[in-house]
Chain A
Amino acid sequence: MVGIVLISHGLLAEGMKNAVEMIVGPQELFLTVGMQPDTDLASLRATLELAVAEVSGTDGALVLVDILGGSPANASSRLALHGTQVICGVNLPMLLELLIQRENSSLRELTAIALQAAKEGVINLTQQITHRN
């Protein structure tokens, strides 16, 4: 099973984990790293890389970042350079879909699923409901 590490500014990663586990229950090989205002980049990178090592079994790991360009993304760059799949712009639809499909999907498949699910999960509910009526 592919491991997942979620890294974000502040408590977002922890919050997303809390939220998604309300839907799918507690998950293995799933860790979060939250950057505090006074965290320096080197220690954030070290914490992240430790977390990735912890969740990476034989199937590897996926790093999900809140947004491209922030310190969490910068902290992930060394891993990305060495071939770890790092995806920026994580949302709950992406995370949910990954947790459901990762037991039966390869890392490569999950990377594609992540990108598609994140976009497909953005829906105008008002339009959907009023159109249906």
Chain B
Amino acid sequence: MATSNEVVVSHNVGLHARPAAVFAKLAATFSSTIQVENLTKGTEPVNAKSVLRILAAGIQMNDRLRISADGTDEDAAITALSNLITTNFGETE
């Protein structure tokens, strides 16, 4: 019973080190397995809880991502992580 959502990255430098760290740290608070796939770059889905795997996915501005989760808190995980991306990590630029 997995679920997923697609979002577009609007952060002007993409998921570079600091946003990637914030994203992974949030993902790690959920018990579900969570993956993120860079649909624009066509990379394999990676473990969203690993900051290094996220960095290796080379996520840049305007990339479309698919966030998938599987577990008891999968809906909460998808919502929280999607919101993080769509609100630009709470940054104004």
Contacts and interface: CB of A to CB of B under 8 A. Distances in A.
Do A and B make up one complex? Answer: yes
Interface of A: 23-24, 93, 96-97, 100-101, 103-105, 117, 120-121, 123, 128, 132
A128 B18 CA distance: 21
B52 A121 contact: yes
B50 A96 contact: no
Contact of A23 (B17, B29, B50): B17
The contact size tier of chain B is 10 to 19
A100 B29 contact: no
A97 B50 CA distance: 7
A117 B28 contact: no
B24 A100 contact: yes
25 contacts: A23-B17, A23-B18, A24-B18, A24-B21, A93-B52, A96-B51, A96-B52, A97-B51, A97-B52, A100-B24, A100-B49, A100-B50, A100-B51, A101-B24, A101-B28, A103-B25, A103-B28, A104-B28, A104-B49, A105-B28, A117-B52, A120-B52, A120-B56, A121-B52, A132-B58
The DSSP consensus for interface residues of chain A is helix
A96 B21 CA distance: 8
Interface in B57-88: 58
Contacts of B53: 120
A57 to B, nearest CB: 18
Given A24-B25, A97-B51, A100-B28, 11 more contacts: A93-B52, A96-B51, A96-B52, A97-B52, A100-B24, A101-B50, A103-B25, A103-B28, A104-B28, A104-B29, A121-B52
Contacts of B56: 120, 123
B25 to A, nearest CB: 5
Contacts of A103: 25, 28-29
B17 A100 contact: no
